[in-house]
Every structure is written in structure tokens, then in C-alpha cells.
Homo-oligomer: A and B are copies of this chain.
């Protein structure tokens, strides 16, 4: 939950004159999004989301993120849409920050993940991968294998504070991942952070995806490996086979995986677990005094990493191999 920047009524009123969305009836900071300040703006036209981009987001990346959301919507994928100002622009400055207004996406993210959610998430992820196929902008993934060692370097000295032996475990894992990381898998635009709080449902049906601020160009199958980690584990670190099967079946109904993608899945899943272990470890060790966001426990991803390290093949995920 996060509101880092305050917006006064006078500055908001001035800002809204640039848009045809009506006058502000209300603007409340909401407990969604960790990186940015988000407000639920109610105008005479209805609800909108107002986002102020904070320091952790590179303003140079914003055209990629906003352009992607518009591209995906034009292909039929449900996601918030940046509202164009009267001058056609989607980004301008508010309270000293880059800011944009978005259409309101109905739905709630599932607090308790069920198998039926996982199947729909898989299908939506595959639909996003297909819809992104002709998106022409690219953005390197700074949080993939090439970026992990740098991140590790910034938190390794204190890693054992979280769990004895953690530094050595990650060091060994990075050496393996760097040596074994696949090449040549299908590339495209990936969401890269499709956790349950970024997927909305209305009743039984998935209503859309949000929070594209980690989106980048990487292996499509790596995105699915992130979802496997995020959606298919029990709190004790064990895999829920029903959810894993539902996730993969949902994905493959829309975009069948290639044999090389399936074969690489255990390694991609290890990589995805390592990526979230590292960022959570960094955030855990670098909590600012008076932080508005409670950092998530890195050990959740340590348990997942250990599971992936122990697998012998796709059958450990209760998945079928290539036919």
C-alpha cells in the first residue's frame, strides 16, 4: 500500500483541466501498487485511477509501459487505459511527478487463489503474449539472469541475517543459473510480475490485468515460470499440482508451448524464484525507517527455490512433457 506524494485539491483541479474527464468529486489514496502513488479519482464521469510515478520508476520507461497497455487493449486484452489529455498527451506533471489518469478496471484480485483462477491466469498470460507479438517497442529485462549478480552483490554481505547459509546457497545457485540459462527460446513482451494482486476477477471470470511496470522483453516461458511461482504454491512451500496443471493447461489452450520451452521450465522456475528471492532479500535488508510498505518475507521464495532445485523434470510439477 502506498501513497508517497500528496496531491492538493488546487493542483488536482488544475491538472484535470487538461482532460475531458469532468471535475473531481473525490480523490483518495489507495492501498495498491508498491512502486507508485495511486489514487481512486471519482469525477462526474465516474471512477478513474490517478497514478503518480515515484523515484523507483525510470521516466524513460513510461512510454513503453503506457504504449504497451494501449497496444494490448487494441488487441482485445482487458487492462487499464491511459486517458489522453485534450492535447493528446497521456503523461504530464503533477505534484512534481510524472502522472497519468487511467480508465477504471472493474474487479477484485483473489485473496484466496483457487484452481479456477490459475486456469484463467494462464489463458490471459498467453493471450497477452500473443497480443504483444506485434508491439514494436522493446525494453531489456534488468531483473533477469544478467542482473541478478549485481543485485546479489548489494545484499550478500547481510544475507545470512535472514537465514544462516543463505549467501552460499544463492552464490551456488547463481553460478548454476548463469551456466545453464537457456538461449533461443521464443522472445516477446512479458508482464514479469503477474502476481494475484495484479489480476482482477468479477465473480468467476477474469476481468483484466493491471500493473505493467515490470513489463519487458524476455522469454515468454519465463513469464509462465513467474506465474508458476506466484500462483501454484501452498504457504508451506509445497506445490499445488492442481493449480500448476490448470495454469499450464490454460496457457497452452491459447498458446501451445514449444518442446524447448517445456524442457527449460524447471530451470526458468528456479530463475524466477531466485529473482524474487533476491529482490525481497534486498527490500528486507533495506527497509527505510517509517516505511509505508511492509516488505515481504524473502524466505517464501527460498522455500520455492529449494523445491525447484529438487525437481527431476516436468513430472515433478505434475506436468506432461512435450508430446
Contacts and interface: CB of A to CB of B under 8 A. Distances in A.
Interface in A84-141: 104-108, 110-112
A31 B32 contact: no
B29 A1 contact: yes
Given A9-B201, A30-B28, A1 B108 contact: no
A10 interface: yes
Interface in A1-47: 1, 3, 6-10, 12-13, 24-32, 40, 42, 47
Copies of this protein chain in the complex? 2
Contacts of A30: 28-31, 40
A294 interface: yes
A294 B292 contact: yes
A108 B24 contact: yes
A321 interface: no
A290 interface: yes
A158 interface: no
B1 A104 contact: no
Contacts of A112: 8, 10
A202 interface: yes
Interface of A: 1, 3, 6-10, 12-13, 24-32, 40, 42, 47, 104-108, 110-112, 201-203, 290, 292, 294
B12 A108 contact: yes
Contacts of A25: 106-107, 202
Given A29-B31, A290-B294, A292-B294, A8 B106 contact: no
A32 B107 CA distance: 21
Contacts of A106: 25-26, 42
Given A6-B111, A26-B104, 11 more contacts: A1-B3, A8-B111, A9-B108, A25-B202, A28-B31, A28-B32, A28-B40, A29-B30, A31-B31, A42-B104, A47-B47
Contact of A9 (B28, B40, B111): B111
A108 B47 contact: no
A272 B125 CA distance: 56
Nearest to A26: B106
Contacts of A31: 1, 3, 28-31
A42 to B, nearest CB: 6
A183 B96 CA distance: 50
Contacts of A1: 1, 3, 29, 31, 292
Contacts of A27: 108
A107 B3 contact: no
24 contacts: A1-B31, A1-B292, A3-B31, A6-B111, A7-B111, A8-B110, A8-B112, A9-B203, A12-B108, A25-B106, A26-B106, A26-B107, A26-B108, A28-B30, A28-B32, A29-B30, A29-B31, A29-B32, A30-B31, A30-B40, A31-B31, A40-B40, A42-B104, A290-B294
A110 to B, nearest CB: 7
A47 B42 CA distance: 9
A182 B40 CA distance: 45
Q: Name the 3 nearest CB pairs between A and B, nearest first.
A: A29-B31, A8-B111, A25-B106
